[in-house]
Structure 1
Amino acid sequence: MTDTAKDWSPGAYDRFRDVRLRPALDLLARLARPKGPVVDLGCGSGAAGPALRALAGQARLTGLDSSPAMLVKAEATGAYDALEQADIALWQPEVPPALIFSNAALHWLGGHATLLPRLAGLLAPGGTLAVQVPHQNNAPSHRIWHSLVEEHFPGRFDPATAPGIERPATYHAMLSPLGQLDLWEVDYYQVLPKAEEGHPVRLFTQSTFARPVLDSLPEDEQAQLVALYDEVIEAAYPRSADGSVLFPFRRLFFTLRPRA
């Protein structure tokens, strides 16, 4: 997680822990055991910590995040040898890692053309940069937040500041000259369970993508926007008879092993 106007809510984020964790596990399944220190970059609440611990073996595992609340949760997993509160864009490891693993964090930072080569350059020789980021901004789940805030509260939020990523071809052009690149996308057809209050897709996105949108408004207007979103999102993601929702969600992955 990265710096935002307010600290993250681990409880809201972990409401959908299983579907958020699956891409991390899928990325880990592509990786060999690292021969040196491992860094969980943007570790959040530490959901991937136990699986990273299993992959790392006896190697030192460090979790890094900007959110104090998330780091408290990560510490409770017992998976990490160390936890650091730091800004990913400025972070500099004391010892070059054999693996930098980042799940659903780097889309919160801009300047990927500078950031990603810098992260790759921090690796030990033979090391791997492994990244997963959401690629969902063009889907109704995300576009509707922006269209509603612009319609009802114009000028209050700048969509250019929203978390997001480049096109896959851009990452290929950016990273393939650096070394061995494996780049892929997956559409996850997630089933979100019935919510006691509100639409499940709203609850999923409100705790992540919509945070900057809502933070731009006072509490009363936040409530108005949430109610509007609940009304509109039903047509895009209808609830089934049991109240659950099928929610397609696209994610982009890559692993990079820089040349020596």
Structure 2
Amino acid sequence: MADWNPENYLRHADERSRPFADLLARVPGSPRTIIDLGCGPGHLTRLLRHRWPGAEVVGVDSSPAMIDRARRDDPDGTYQLADLRGFEPPAPLDLVLSNATLQWVPEHRTLLPRLTSMVAPGGSFAFSVPGNHDAPSHTILREVAAREPYRDLTTSVARPSAFDPEQYLDDLAHPGWSVDAWETTYLHVLQGEDPVFTWIAATGARPVLDALPAPLRDDFTTDLQEALRAAYPARPYGTPLAFRRVFAVATRV
């Protein structure tokens, strides 16, 4: 999969920021050491320093383009290029956080014990993942990608996946841990031409688009935009997009 495009990702920065703010609101205490796994372009990592002034905050991402953008836009921050699957902090942390990242990690539930092991006593592991992979935006993407002549080129692309709050609760609710797991469906009102395509092209549809050569990518884009316009008709005030998110905050008590 090609590297992330920070410009495309930030087109809907306001809408993408809402779940992050809701996640932070449920984190207890005042953490002093924080790691943001999958920090992207760093626009949300900065919020951690605003929420907890004086905390030591490090943003980690595996995308060179995202880390470069974070360092450019937030020169006062600390950002590290690393894959969360192999990342090890030098010492236990008060808050291990990951927002809209784990869904890209195959079998990410098997990583949860290692991520919680990074948490210091009294600290928390908090994350959110999209829970909308059965929404029309994603079912249509899969349906169009399965058509000829796209099918052979898109069969093995990376596809995000996530689970329900109850499953994460089962994973995290061990002795010595207090777990808060929930879901929220946001109703975003998007503006502009083909806004649902613009939204998913920066995230969920990106691996499919990257897998197609230029001529086929243009045809695929046209087919996908047409199908998405039918599923998400524009209204006078914009285009509504229902987006389900799943959250969990596990605190080491």
1:249 to 2:246 alignment: no
- In the alignment, which of 144, 147, 158 is matched to residue 148 of structure 1? 144
- Matching of residue 50 in structure 1 with residue 50 in structure 2: no
Counterpart AA for 1:236: A
Q: Which residue number in structure 2 is paired with residue 135 of structure 1?
A: 131
Tell me the amino acid that sits aligned with residue 151 of structure 2: P
Per the alignment, residue 220 of structure 1 pairs with 215
Tell me how far 1:80 sits from its aligned partner.
5.5
**Could you say what the CA RMSD is over the residues aligned between the two structures, in angstroms?**
1.7
Is the 8 Å Cα contact of residues 165 and 247 (structure 2) preserved in structure 1? no
CA–CA distance in structure 2, aligned partners of residues 205 and 139 of structure 1? 12
Number of equivalences: 251
Whole-angstrom CA distance in 2 between matches of 1:258 and 1:38: 15
How is 1:105-254 mapped onto 2 (pairs within 5 angstroms)?
Answer: 105-152=101-148, 153-158=150-155, 161-177=158-174, 179-195=177-193, 199-241=194-236, 244-254=238-248
The answer for the alignment partner of 1:66 in structure 2 is: 62
Unmatched runs of 5 consecutive residues or more in structure 1: none
Contiguous gaps of at least 5 residues in structure 2 = none
- Partner-residue secondary structure (3-state), 2:32: coil
Task: Note if contact 1:27-1:132 (Cα within 8 Å) is conserved in structure 2.
Answer: yes
Distance change >3 Å, CA 25–CA 35, structure 1 → 2: closer
Aligned residue identity for 2:169: H
Residue identity opposite 1:173 in structure 2:
D
Q: Which amino acid aligns with 2:181?
A: L
AA at the equivalent of 2:97 = F
CA displacement 1:201-252 (0-9 Å, x = unmatched): 000001100111112211111111110011111121101135x201100000
Match of 2:90 in 1: 94
In structure 2, the residue corresponding to 1:131 is in which secondary structure? strand
Superposition deviation, residue 159 in structure 1: 6.7
Q: How many angstroms apart in 2 are the aligned matches of 1:161 and 1:200?
A: 23
Secondary structure of 1:118's partner? helix
- Select which of 28, 31, 36 maps to 1:40: 36
On the 8 A contact 2:58/2:78 being kept in 1, the answer is yes
Q: Which runs of 4+ in 1 moved over 6 A?
A: none
Provide the TM-score with structure 2 as the length reference.
Answer: 0.93
Do the aligned partners of residues 170 and 33 (structure 1) sit closer, same or farther apart at CA in structure 2, a change above 3 Å counting? Answer: closer
Contact 1:102/1:132, CA 8 A, preserved across alignment: yes
* 1:92 maps to amino acid: E
The offset of 1:258, in angstroms, is 3.1
Quote the offset at 1:79 in angstroms.
Answer: 7.2
8 Å contact kept, 1:45–1:74: yes
Matched, 1:104 2:100: yes
Instruction: Pick closer, same or farther for the CA change 1:150–1:95 going to 2, 3 Å.
Output: same
- Deviating more after overlay: 20-29 vs 176-185: 176-185
Deviation at 1:48, TM superposition (A): 1.1
Determine the C-alpha separation between the residues in 2 that align with 1:208 and 1:86.
19
Alpha-carbon offset, residue 64 of structure 1: 0.3
What TM-score, normalized by structure 1, do the two folds share? Answer: 0.91
Deviation string 1:136-190 (CA, Å, 9 cap, x unpaired) is: 1100011111110101222322378401112332212211125211000000000
Instruction: Give a deviation string over 1:112-139, Cα, whole Å, max 9, x none.
Output: 2321111001111111011011011100
SS at match of 1:138: coil
Q: Distance in 1 between matches of 2:24 and 2:75?
A: 15
